[in-house]
Structure 1
């Protein structure tokens, strides 16, 4: 073994000697899996290294030299920002099959169609995906309908994407309007979800001020800024624990109730074929009506807020049988709607008279 061979073992302490080629192969494999700092790589490669200054520094310097050597072979190592910097070898994206391109394109088209304002990121993604489709298909694609652009929401979405991908927190104010927003929020972004009901974007993560997992609506986040504070998503975080059985973004694993609903015969078949989350098999009655139970998450007022619009959409074809507080809320809403309609009818008759 030549002492001057740059690809053989460095002059490392006796506690651990690894052939440099093997070490570089392990570093390459690790960096293809996840980003790592020099120290993190050293802890993996040399778990028994004594944490004394001189020996530990020699280990880290050896790994730093390995990364410099690997760069000579153009393996694609990228140096990520942060303190300390991390290194990563991104893998080329697997080419999508035709049906997968179509599926992603349709999903983005649906998002764009339902977005309350033109979102430039959806539009850019659609354009890139469209280029993967045959020219004959591209020509048949209609352009997005014109809509006012919400620069703030576009900018916020980009910062949230950066925060999620780079493991950096975001600071913002949160509320329905910028004048009533809660200041001083800082979030570790763990997940981004689209509400199946209104297709609005929500951000899920640990909010540092409250030290709690929160689900926050993108359109209510004001003055979003990207910080230099880094974090790692906990290994035990599971989006299903937050979103499990959700009708929108309020999952039923934290705080839920069981609704009992009766549907008339003319609605029964549509309910049975609907595939709704958290719904039981129907109890079918001789007259063709059905009774089902639905598991739904509760909001902070104790109501299954996300499932209620779906219940209202059935009009007189549904009855809420329980629980009692949800039944009373449903009845009160129907009575208020009837009273409002009656007042409008009276006002119209008086105006005509």
Structure 2
């Protein structure tokens, strides 16, 4: 590997192993001379890495305790920076919990942008700074560090329909936001299940970074699995969902790419039919209901019946006199 690749690799090694390494061990891992490694260790402590390395009595180099993972400078075009700003805004809008790291990222981005727009971005950032010591912020920090460095994390998580908090050792393979659940999810191998599972970060009460490392299996391709999902619920088998939209909303439906598998067919009355293939139907239901009477489920029949019954119950609710309900 060339020197730049080696420096990046060394940085990752130190984050993965808090005990550190002797320079001879690093030379063997990198396939280079000990003399080259010593030069690399000096460079890692200067710009742009500023890695706070400590040499212990047993000649092991390690990261200073309490150091936070930092990235070297990234050079962006104005349009790339604007894209990151929009992505961060979307993430902030679909999060159950305020994420102070979104605010920090926007603040840093605003400082780098031209003053005319940088001031606007920083005003937005100030509304998202939140509490860096909140439970969610601490969980987010640990999970992302484990994900980035390939280290396992111990989590305490309470399922939506469970009265108990369970403890798992998790190998975080992937982090994914969801506009469906207004949340952020971590996907990875969980010890209790001995299988890959999805956990909502907002339901994790505690997270601890462990020294034990992991490797993502070569056969695992989370992004490919998620490409078939409507949100974060994925699977190998899919079901075709067929929806008919009224002429009043057909143009709006055809404006967007709702799912990679979608097919749209025009109807003679000006409406349209949308077909998608998804592994789970649950995440689609709120989206279907959001169209009200302008969306009709044609297939599968079980989904059609579920939505029809929910719509009927909603209609019954609105037929009642509000005064007969609970006091406001």
- Classify the TM-score, shorter chain: 0.7 to 0.9
Q: Is the 8 A contact 2:261 2:277 kept in 1?
A: yes
What do the CA deviations read for 1:93-117 (whole angstroms, capped 9, x no partner)? 4401111111112222332344334
- Which sections of structure 1, spanning at least 5 residues, go unmatched? 1-25, 46-61, 299-303
Which moves more between the two structures, 120-129 or 284-293? Answer: 284-293
Match of 1:120 in 2: 100
Task: Identify the match of residue 311 of structure 1 among 264, 273, 288.
Answer: 288
Q: Gaps (5+ residues) in structure 2?
A: 14-20, 55-59, 64-69
Aligned to 1:156: 139
Equivalent of 1:228, from 184, 206, 211?
211
Q: Take 2:278 and 2:184, find their aligned partners in 1: how far apart are those partners?
A: 20
Find the aligned partners of 2:128 and 2:144 in 1 and give their Cα distance: 25
Partner of 1:243: 226
Q: Within 5 Å, which residues of 2 pair with 1:140-179?
A: 140-141=120-121, 142-143=123-124, 144-145=126-127, 149=131, 151-176=134-159
How far does residue 64 in structure 1 lie from its aligned partner after superposition?
Answer: 4.4
The 5-angstrom pairing of residues 195-344 of structure 1 reads 195-251=178-234, 253-298=235-280, 304-344=281-321
8 A contact 1:242–1:250 mirrored in 2: no
In structure 2, what is the Cα distance between the partners aligned to 1:343 and 1:276?
35
Residues 14-41 of structure 1: CA deviation (Å, up to 9, x unaligned): xxxxxxxxxxxx5736524534576586
Q: Secondary structure at the match of 1:306?
A: helix
Tell me the alpha carbon deviations over residues 305-343 of structure 1, each in whole angstroms, 9 at most, x when there is no partner: 111111101111111111111111111111111222233
Does residue 34 in structure 1 map to residue 5 in structure 2?
no
Matched residue, 1:13: none
For 2:170, the equivalent position in structure 1 comes to 187
Return the TM-score normalized by structure 2.
0.78
1:197 shift after superposition: 2.9
Name whichever of 208-217 and 229-238 sits farther off.
229-238
Kindly indicate whether the alpha-carbon contact (under 8 Å) linking 1:279 and 1:292 is maintained by their aligned counterparts in 2.
no
Residue pair 1:119, 1:154 contacting (<8 A) in 2 also = yes
Is the 1:194–1:200 Cα contact (8 Å) retained in structure 2?
Answer: yes
Partner of 1:95: 75
* 1:34-82 residue CA offsets vs partner (Å, 9 max, x unmatched): 345765863774xxxxxxxxxxxxxxxx9545422544677969669xx
Alignment of 1:137 onto 2:117: yes
Q: Provide the aligned C-alpha RMSD in A.
A: 3.5
For 1:236, what is the secondary structure of its paired residue?
coil
Q: Which residue of 1 aligns with 2:16?
A: none
- Residues 267, 85 of structure 1: alpha-carbon distance in 2 compared, 3 angstrom cutoff: farther
- What is the rounded CA distance, in whole Å, between the counterparts of 2:312 and 2:110 in structure 1? 49
Greater relative CO, 1 or 2 (CA 8 Å, sep 6+): 2
Give me the whole-angstrom Cα distance separating, in 1, the residues matched to 2:128 and 2:143. 25
Q: Answer with 1 or 2: which has the greater Rg.
A: 1
Could you tell me which of 67, 73, 85 is aligned with 2:37? 67
Q: Please say which of residues 227-236 and 150-159 is displaced more in the overlay.
A: 227-236
Taking a change above 3 Å as real, the CA distance of residues 177 and 85 of structure 1, as seen in their structure-2 partners, is farther
Change (3 A) 1:217 1:288: same
C-alpha distance 268-73 of structure 1, shift in aligned 2 (>3 A): closer
Q: SS state of the match for residue 277, structure 2?
A: strand
Q: State how far apart, in whole Å, the 1-side matches of 2:162 and 2:282 are.
A: 25
CA 41–308 in structure 1, closer or farther in 2 if over 3 Å, else same:
farther
TM-score (norm 1): 0.73
